[in-house]
Structure 1
Amino acid sequence: MSYTAADITELDDVQHTRLRPAVNLGQDVLLTALRELVDNAVEEVADPSHGGSTVTIVLHTDSSVTVTDDGRGLPVDSDPVTGKNGIVKTLGTARAGGKFSVHTDAAATGAGLNGIGAAAAVFISARTDVTVLRGGKTYTQSFGRGYPGTFDGTDFDPDAEFTRDDTQKLRGVANRRPDAHGTSVRILFDPQVAPDCSIDIGEVLLRAHAAARMCPGVHLQVIDEGWPLSEVPEMLVRPFDGHWGTVALLELMCAAAGTSPPELNLLVEGSGSYTTGRGPTPMRWSVAAGPAEPATVAAFCNTVRTANGGSHLSAAVRGLTEALADKASRMRDLGLAKGEDGPEAQDFAAVTALAVDTRAPDVSWDSQAKTSVSSRSLNLAMAPEVARAVAVWAANPANSAAITTWSKLALEAARARRSAEGAKERSRAASKAKGLGTNLSLPPKLLPSRESGRGSGAELFICEGDSALGTVRAARDATFQAAFPLKGKPPNTFGWTAAKARAKEEFDAIERILGCGVRDHCDPEKCRYDRILFASDADPDGANINSSLISMFLDFYRPLVAAGMVYVTLPPLFVVYDPETRIYCQDEAERDEAVARLRATSRRKVEVQRNKGLGEMNADDFWNTVLDPAQRTVYRIGTDDKALQLHHTLFGGPPEGRRDWMAAAAARVDTAALDLN
């Protein structure tokens, strides 16, 4: 079978992105790709020095989208080293951008940092046309399935004849508006690249509206020529020309969520620094919030909506709610009942609409999709600053009425929460009081199986100690085998009342695990397992533990025993082996016989392993002898008269019965064979 260098496939950036689009664009491929183009356009006009102010989004009837800004216009000259023109280098080259220079302003807070997003969008398109207005001329560059070149004809047709040209020289055509400038990108995504994805155009436009509100002076126009893929929300087609700021952002997000914006708003802003790879790095934030039901939260970082929140959102919520809870704890007119506590931070969070706008250089995004921010340093730096600003706002007498309204709403939430918590606690207590195995809480040391319930084939191994549990964990088939470790030796429960037995932790745990009730209430059909197997060490202590468990089950779970569901396993005391054969032995006599037999047939060294406990057995041996239903040996416990009489004699009858039984057993022992020296 050939395996040479020729068998290794090498892909360029375009091919790799088209084959594995989620690597650079996340799982929601098309949403992220289109959002990258919108973010770039907003970022371009957000800087007043770039001479622009308006972003226009056009939704075409052929499912293509045009994103236009009136900023500087992309570079149109050619790079003297690579030969690529400025458009190809910017939008047709991965890991290319203007933010990698060591001279880049450390305080810059653009959405893009990696030089991948917009290029990846172009790579997965069927066709992209870029038009640049600059210096009184119009320049055009096309991309066919990610590669630069030219299409035949004048229509926007992705199936037109295409000629690839990586180093195309751009020739401008004089336009009628010599002062016009900016960049326009029309893109149609290739349906074969991400066939399972669709464009959530509502989310794209919502992000665009939000970004515009966070950038003073930026205007947004949306033109729907007949978008064919979904209905476009009417509120998102309206042009935006102001007002800007975090309060306007909060109103937008509440409207999008279908909730009413708060009638009163808190607005706090601040700045500080957090730690990045550059060292101390400046950041700034703005929080708008107000009392509202239901709660609405929206988080943005560098104008990008982080739908999954992240460090900046948790910092804003924590700082805001802790400061409000602290203020409420000192208020006297909330109407608290005697002994009642005031609302806590979590209660304020439940009745708050909040939007946070954070600007932070070198921010750590979760991925290219930028759905959340992950930075412990940012969180630690921002939360106390928000709390301090909110405390100052709350101390202003002009805001006392707002604080009272907010706190009373939080108090209602606190009472509802505490009532629900009390109901849960009462339910748990009532369930425990029933004491018939119906308590659904299971012991933490139970190693559960995926299957359970009568008829599922599930098995429960009650084993000796945590070390044995470790061996079970390594060897078992988790599909149907569960295990629970005993702590020490079970007590002799013969004749005990159920209440006395339940006071013992191990008995209570077994009752809850089985879930079938005890004594007259024991119902095998309600048992969570088809077989219960005792797995103790192959020594006298293990035998004693098995005996106590047998007694417990004959007394409290006799219907399970009668149904043939209870077994004792026989782990080996010795393993006799050579490199090819393993023989499992229960006692010294079997060991000696196995050693002799193996030495007679094997030319290799024969060794003997004594298992001091289940915890010392390897996983394969444990599976072969204890767990594997196909080859293990087990004893099934019965309920015949002889067994029940012996149970009564050894565990519950008068001492004379046990003395007579031991004397009779001793009489059967060949004392001459005992080594008494």
Structure 2
Amino acid sequence: MSYTAADITELDDVQHTRLRPAVNLGLDVLNTALRELVDNAIEEVADPSHGGSCVTITLHADGSVSVTDDGRGLPVDSDPVNGKNGIVKTLGTARAGGKFSAHADAASTGAGLNGIGAAAAVFISKRTDVTVHRAGKTYVQSFGGGYPGVFEGKDFDADAPFTRADTQKLRGSGNRKPDAHGTTVRILFDPAVVPDSSVDINEVLLRAHAAARMSPGVHLRVIDEGWPGDDVRPDLTEPFSGPWGTETLLDLMCAAAGTPVPGVRAVVEGRGEYTTGRGPTPFRWSLTAGPAEPPTVAAFCNTVRTPGGGSHLTAAVKGLSEALADRASRMRDLGLAKGEEGPEAQDFAAVTALAVDTRAPDVSWDSQAKTAVSSRSLNVAMAPDVARSVTIWAANPANGDTVTLWTKLALESARARRSAEGAKARSRAASKAKGLGTNLSLPPKLLPSRETGRGSGAELFLCEGDSALGTIKAARDATFQAAFPLKGKPPNVYGFTLSKARVKDEFDSIERILGCGVRDSCDPELCRYDRILFASDADPDGGNINSSLISMFLDFYRPLVEAGMVYVTLPPLFVVKDGQQRIYCQDESERDAAVAQTKATSKRKVEVQRNKGLGEMDADDFWTTVLDPQRRTVIRVHPDDGEKKLHHTLFGGPPEGRRTWMADVASRVDTLALDLD
């Protein structure tokens, strides 16, 4: 097989971004791409020396979005070195920008630092038109499929004939308004690049409103011309013209979250230095917080919303809550019981609505999506600075009533927390006294998932033997799918006392894995998994294993069954294939029908594969039929409320009862209709 330099594929920036958009734009590709254009526009007009003050976002009926600023207007001349005009160099070239020099002023720091985001947005578009008003003229540069060039016609038609031109020289036309200046970017994303993604326009607009509130003097307008996507929230189309600052930012984020807006609040700010790759680097922060329950936390860095939080948010919460807790420790007349301690820092954090705006040049982001900040140096420098500022604010007699109200709310939270902790401690002590959970370690053969806990979507597969475990390990999604192998047929523990059932290794292992208690103590909310699925071979032995497990769960884990958390999987016994399609069959009749159907419609050789066990199944087949929540077929186990007597007969009663039942069933079978040859 050839392996030379000619066999190595080299992609340009446009090709690579369209093939792997998440590399430059994170997992939320389209939202990040559109946000990059909005951030650039707001940052342009946030500097008064650029002569602008307004950003307009227009939502078009064709699914495109225009972002307009009245700033300087992008450069339109051509670079003498590479021939690219200023628009192509700015929005059509990766790793190009005007902010790579050292930052000496945190106040001037904006969202764009890497020279990638806006260009990546253009790269994944089907069509982008950039219109610049500058020096009394209007210039237009188009991009088709990420490349610069010219579309035929005057309308914004992404399907119009396109001619690529990397070094196009722009010729301006006269403006009707000679004093007009600024840039408009109209973009229509290419659905072929990210077919399973769509723009969350409300999230984009919310972030735009937040960025405007953190940029003094910036005005925001939103125009909806009939957006074809999700309904646009009316409050997000309202124009914004001030006031600016973290106070109005907190109001916005509380309204968006539907949480209470604190009536009283602390407004503090500060600055300092942290360490980056360039050495000591300035940062500044501003914060508004107040007592509210439930809490709301909104963190921003360089005007970018960081839903994942990070170093700046941790520093803000730590500094604020510790300063308030320290102040509360010196307050009297809180109504504390004898020996009762006042609220701690965590209690203040639990009853605080907070918005923090941090400006930090050269900050480290988690990715280009910028959902979190990762800088230990920033955290270490910012937390004590926040604490100092809040301490000074709290010491001001004018803020005494606010501090008292905040402290009393935190005290209520502390009492609720301590009561819950005491209840848990008593429950653990009682469980230990009864011998519950004497061995809380998980079985070594458990194949764990990364996600666990009620509401996480996690699934536990109880499978038949180690070979089946091997197939699951190769096919599963380890994010949410766990598995545990059973050694042969599970014991029949119907009617056993708990101590007697725990002697059985399989029962003991399942109890420890689920972690939710048994019988009257079984609580679905404590279960480590949202679904428990039995995965046994598609043969009589597998049926017996499933029956034993169903009996066990009906007896010891009935609340899980009643909650709809227990299922039986249906792995295929046969796979009929012709090289192009695969048909999964549960029994011989389905197999024969599939063979006949395939032979009638295909000229290819038809093969039949019999799965002797789960351990011999192909990983792709196993994923499709047993693991994939979107395609698999499973049977939900229901409570035996109408058949409790039968359950007792089959699993707990004397053998005579089972013989009588089998004879009765056999008498109703038409043996002449059976193919016994």
TM-score (norm 1): 0.68
SS of equivalent residue, structure 1 residue 340: coil
Structure 1 segment 536-547 matched on structure 2, within 5 A: none
Corresponding position of 1:164? 164
Within 2, Cα distance between the matches of 1:234 and 1:269?
32
Q: Which residue of structure 2 lines up, in the alignment, with residue 226 of structure 1?
A: 226
1:260 shift after superposition: 2.1
Whether 1:480 and 2:485 are equivalent positions in the alignment is: yes
Q: Could you tell me how far apart the structure 2 residues matched to 1:365 and 1:203 are? A: 20
1:35 and 2:40 aligned: no
- Number of the residue aligned with 2:447: 450
Tell me the C-alpha RMSD between the 2 structures.
Answer: 2.6
1:61 maps to 61
Deviation at 1:454, TM superposition (A): 9.2
1:218-273 residue CA offsets vs partner (Å, 9 max, x unmatched):
00000001101110011100000001011010000000001121000100011111
The answer as to whether partners of 2:106 and 2:359 remain within 8 angstroms in 1 is no
The equivalent of 1:81 in structure 2 is 81
- What secondary structure, in the 3-state scheme, does the structure 1 residue paired with 2:183 have? strand
Q: Which amino acid aligns with 1:150?
A: V
Q: What letter matches 1:109 in structure 2?
A: T
- AA paired with 2:446? S
Closer/same/farther in 2, CA of residues 523 and 366 from structure 1, 3 Å limit: closer
1:284-299 aligned at under 5 Å gives the runs: 284-299=284-299
**C-alpha distance in 1 between matches for 2:249 and 2:380:** 25
CA positional deviation for 1:104: 8.0
1:277 and 1:453, CA in 2 relative to 1: closer, same or farther beyond 3 A? closer
- 2:106 touches 2:284 (CA, 8 Å); kept in 1? no
Distance verdict in 2 for CA 1:348–1:159, change over 3 Å? same
Residue of structure 2 in register with 1:153 after alignment = 153
Aligned to 1:181: 181
Give the partner amino acid of 2:394.
A
Whole-Å separation in 2 of the counterparts to 1:519 and 1:408: 51
**Distance of 1:520 and 1:160 partners within structure 2:** 73
- The 2-side partners of 1:450 and 1:443 are apart by 14
Equivalents in 1 of 2:432, 2:445: separation in Å? 21
Partner of 2:507: 526
1:338–1:193 distance in 2 versus 1, CA, 3 Å: same
Give distance in 2, aligned partners of 1:105 and 1:331: 40
Work out whether residues 59 and 227 of structure 1, in 8 Å CA contact, stay in contact via their aligned partners in 2: yes
Query: What amino acid is the match of 1:129?
Result: D
8 Å contact from structure 2 (residues 127, 158) kept in 1: yes
Change in Cα spacing, 1:186 to 1:456, as seen in structure 2 (3 Å) is: same
1:441–1:359 distance in 2 versus 1, CA, 3 Å: farther
Partner of 1:92 in structure 2? 92
Tell me which moved more, 275-284 or 141-150.
Answer: 275-284
SS at match of 2:509: coil
**Deviation digits for residues 20-50 of structure 1 (CA, Å, limit 9, x no counterpart):** 0000000000000000000000000000000
- Corresponding position: 1:132 with 2:132: yes
Q: Normalised by the size of structure 2, how large is the TM-score?
A: 0.68
Whole-Å separation in 2 of the counterparts to 1:454 and 1:49 = 67
| CA distance, structure 1, for counterparts of residue 145 and residue 507 of structure 2 | 62
Change (3 A) 1:374 1:522: closer
CA contact (8 A) 1:219 1:242 kept: yes
The aligned counterpart of 1:255 is 255
What is the distance in 1 between the residues matched to 2:69 and 2:198?
Answer: 25
1:326-367 superposed Cα distances (whole Å, 9 cap, x missing partner): 111111111111111111111101100000000111111111
437, 440, 462: which one aligns with 1:439: 437
> Separation in 1 of the partners of 2:304 and 2:276?
19
1:48 aligns to what?
48
Partner of residue 111, structure 2: 111
Cα distance in 1 for partners of 2:195, 2:210 equals: 29
Letter in 2 for 1:8: I
Letter in 2 for 1:292: A
Assess if the C-alpha contact under 8 Å between 2:445 and 2:484 holds in 1: no
Q: Shift of the alpha carbon at 1:300?
A: 0.5
Structure 1 stretch displaced more, 94-103 or 11-20? 94-103
Match of 2:243 in 1: 243
Q: Taking structure 1 as reference, are residues 58 and 375 closer, same or farther at Cα in structure 2, changes over 3 Å only?
A: same
Q: Secondary structure at the match of 2:142?
A: strand
Supply the AA of the counterpart residue of 1:44: E
Superposed CA deviations along residues 447-473 of structure 1, whole A, max 9, x for unmatched, are 3523999985489xxxxxxxxxxxxxx
Q: Post-superposition shift, 1:518?
A: 4.8
In structure 1, what is the Cα distance between the partners aligned to 2:227 and 2:400?
49
Q: Distance in 2 between matches of 1:195 and 1:294?
A: 37
Q: Is the Cα–Cα contact under 8 Å of residues 137 and 175 in structure 2 kept in the other structure?
A: yes
What is the Cα deviation at residue 107 of structure 1? 6.6
**What residue number does 1:359 align with?**
359
Are the equivalent residues in 1 in contact too, given 2:463–2:484 (CA < 8 A)? no
Larger radius of gyration: 1
Matched AA of 2:40: N
> 5+ residue gaps in structure 1?
460-476, 483-514, 531-627, 629-677
Deviation (angstroms), 1:297: 0.3
Aligned-pair CA distance for 1:117 = 0.3
Contact 2:297 2:354 in 1 (8 A): yes
Number of aligned residue pairs: 480
Cα distance change on mapping 1:223 and 1:518 into 2, 3 Å = closer
Q: How far, CA to CA, are the matches of 1:429 and 1:406 in structure 2?
A: 34
Is this contact kept in 2: 1:288–1:355, CA < 8 A? Answer: yes
Corresponding residue for 2:205?
205
**Cα pair distance change 1:454/1:291, threshold 3 Å:** closer
Distance 1:331 1:38, change over 3 A: same
Q: Is the 8 A contact 2:464 2:486 kept in 1?
A: no
1:113 Cα shift?
A: 1.0
Aligned partner of 1:154: which letter? K
Cα distance in 1 for partners of 2:327, 2:106 equals 37
State the distance in 1 between where 2:509 and 2:157 align: 64
CA distance in 2, matches of 1:107, 1:481: 62
Q: Deviations over 1:610-660 (max 9, x none)?
A: xxxxxxxxxxxxxxxxxx9xxxxxxxxxxxxxxxxxxxxxxxxxxxxxxxx
Give the aligned partner of residue 559 of structure 1: none
Deviations 1:538-576 (A, max 9, x none): xxxxxxxxxxxxxxxxxxxxxxxxxxxxxxxxxxxxxxx
SS in 1 for 2:27: coil
Deviation of residue 526 (structure 1)?
A: 3.4
Amino acid paired to 2:204: V
3-state DSSP of counterpart to 1:480: strand
Counterpart for residue 596 of structure 2: none
Sequence identity percentage:
75
